[in-house]
Amino acid sequence: MDYSHMYEAFINGLLLVFAWPSIGFLFLGILIGIVIGAIPGLGGIVGLFILLPFTYGMDPVPAFALLLGMFAVTTTSDTIASVMLGIPGTAASQATILDGYPMAKKGQAGRALGAAFSVSAFGGVFGAVVLALSLPLVMPIILAFGSPEMFMLGVLGLTMVGTLSGGSILKGLIVAMLGLLMSTIGYAESFAIPRYAFGSDYLIDGLGLLPVVLGLFAIPELMDLALKNTSISRISEDEAIGGGLLDGVKDAWNNWWLVIRCSIIGTYIGMLPGLGAGIVDWIAYGHAVQSSKDNSQFGKGDIRGVIAPEAANNAIKGGVLVPTLVFGIPGGLGAAILLGALLIHGIRPGPEMLTTQLHITFSIVWMIVVANIVATGLLMIWCKQVVKLAFIPGHLIVPGVMMFLFMGSWIESASMGSWVALLSMGLLGFVMKISNWPRPPIILAIILGSYLENSFQISMGTHDGFAWLSRPIVLVITALIIITLIFASRAVVKKKKIAASRKALAKSEGEGENKRKPKQVDSKPLFSFLFAIAMCALFIWAGFESLKWPVTVKMFPLIIAIPAIIVGLLIIFYDTRVLMNELKIEGSLMAIVRRDSKKADLSTAFQYFSYITGVILITFVLGQKIALPLFVVIYLIRWGGYGIRVSFGYALVVWMFIVGFYDLVMHLFWYPSWLSSWLPSMLPNWFPVWLIL
């Protein structure tokens, strides 16, 4: 290897980045990326689609400065939605919500964001450096992973999320299977046979990811703000102690070894085409849980639960570009768009990127480094203003975020089916939340579902059945899956023992009291029991429905349904025991129904869903540009109790954003409402119809 040539290319790459206009476009991309990453429903991939047309005619380095400046920082700013709203900003920030959002509820949003931004900067720089050092060495690593290894790695990711995202391993696993089943909706991988589409044109192409993510996570959390009339933080700003930005920076420094380990995980998993962004945060989170001596606070607001996934999901940006640049194999959808941009600008991925085009490669490395450092600095400066969102009234947050949810869902397919899916997933998310069932496994399973099915089919076809299970790397990953299940089971048993000892202590301390009623649990066992029955019935129906399809079409749904039915029956058995104990406490089933319904506030929740349904119905008549601002006005006046000036002023801002960004910048297709079929012909020619229709 010619080190003098590499050093020269390294310096030339740096000079290319800081030359004008490249540095200007890099900073522009960073600013755009911060905004796009922070808005639920957008993210780096949408940003690439928006910016790519603007790079036509530009020189390669300025073009990539704009694209990479934006793309590299979205996994930093997406932390804002994950921490402040409990909504995964992108697929790579799912695990962050488990501890980030509980910290925001405790008034420690600043601490969570400070730690996240710090480790994001390190992870992004680390991934870029590893990218530079690993380019000549990664071919054997990447080529060693075939379809069997990729399938098992996906299963490992699902095992991590299923066992770590809730209090019950069985519930986590069956929810992951539900996500896999949802991923089979639409045309099969091997034949053009629609599965579970119910004759819907929207479902034939598969269930969109954005409506599922936004519905499952965002709507239940917004309902929490609306129903309880509270802010994101459950304590006032004056009561928040030890939750500042600098506390988070100190946490990142104190956990430096965890940061390095998770950055390594993120970089090298990012090199594996197709899987990286979906599973890396969960593998890093699982590593943090399993390597910690005291993991009792994970899921309740442990800062390590923010540090681990955020370090990994930023490091992945460097790793994902390795197969893209060296082999022309994109590591994900974002990398695929960047690959297309390379080809558009006359740069062909391959060995030339390590020889004659090495200076271009190093300029890309420098872009990622500079983007992460600058974005972190800017977000640190703005963090104090962002944190204030946690303390403002929830009624002022709900309508604005709902606009982003509706438009974020609309972006994916520009179909009313996406809004119906958003509402349906919101209802499912609400039921799962009040039933104390984990939601994150569904998202990862949907992301990986089609990839896992394809890898499974290829593995079965090319290795004569299940012979691929004996491959060395497959055996290693299988061992990791078993270890994950063992550690998770031990943690559950340990928690039960601690809970039992505390219960016994409380009982012994209260022996002298008369007519002491047993303490009621905060969970809602009736809802959990009913949801378990519904899940089991769904998988039974799905299994029988698949029997009429060809073998290759029904194989994957059956592999999902059969174990899910077994797990579902076990959950029903355990939930029945819990419910019987509750019957002893409450005395009758109706008493449990009244108690759990009151806890869940079902009547008010029904009203909230009526508001969302009203937006969809009004859109059919008046269109989105009128329906969404109208929702803001009605919500703030009738539900929030605000006056005309505040309500209409808020609605005006929402309308301006819809028209200015989603229409004039993104050029979205709008629903052809009843009003749009006759109103334009009645308006004067000079009137800009696009303002309202």
Each residue's pLDDT tens digit, 113-138: 888 888 887 877 777 777 666 655 66
Q: What is the dihedral of CA 576, 578, 579, 580, to 10 degrees?
A: 90
pLDDT (average), residues 36-65: 74
pLDDT band at 41 (very low <50, low <70, confident <90, very high): low
**The pTM is what?**
0.78
Say how many C-beta atoms besides its own lie within 10 A of residue 208's C-beta. 23
Contact yes or no for 272/142 (Cβ under 8 A):
yes
| Alpha carbon distance 199, 417 (integer Å) | 12
89-103, 225-239, 368-382, 416-430: least confident range = 225-239
Contact yes or no for 307/265 (Cβ under 8 A):
no
| Alpha carbon distance 459, 559 (integer Å) | 15
The percent of residues above 70 in pLDDT, for the chain, comes to 81
On average, the pLDDT of the chain sits at 78
| Alpha carbon distance 248, 111 (integer Å) | 4
| Alpha carbon distance 519, 517 (integer Å) | 6
DSSP 447-492: HHHHHHHHHHHHHHHHTTTGGGGGSHHHHHHHHHHHHHHHHHHHHH
Query: Buried b vs exposed e over 608-635: b needs ≥16 C-beta within 10 Å?
Result: beebbeebbebbeebbbbbbbbbbbbbb
DSSP 589-603: HHHHHHHHHHHHTHH
pLDDT, residue 515, reads 42
Q: What angle do CA 467, 468, 473 make, to 5 degrees?
A: 140
Cα-Cα-Cα-Cα dihedral sign, residues 71, 73, 79, 80:
negative
pLDDT (average), residues 299-328: 75
Classify residue 614 by its DSSP letter. H
* pLDDT tens digits for range 175-229: 888 988 998 888 877 677 888 888 888 888 888 877 888 888 788 888 877 877 7
pLDDT band at 91 (very low <50, low <70, confident <90, very high): low
Residue count (the chain): 693
pLDDT band at 537 (very low <50, low <70, confident <90, very high): very high
17-31, 219-233, 419-433, 596-610: least confident range = 219-233
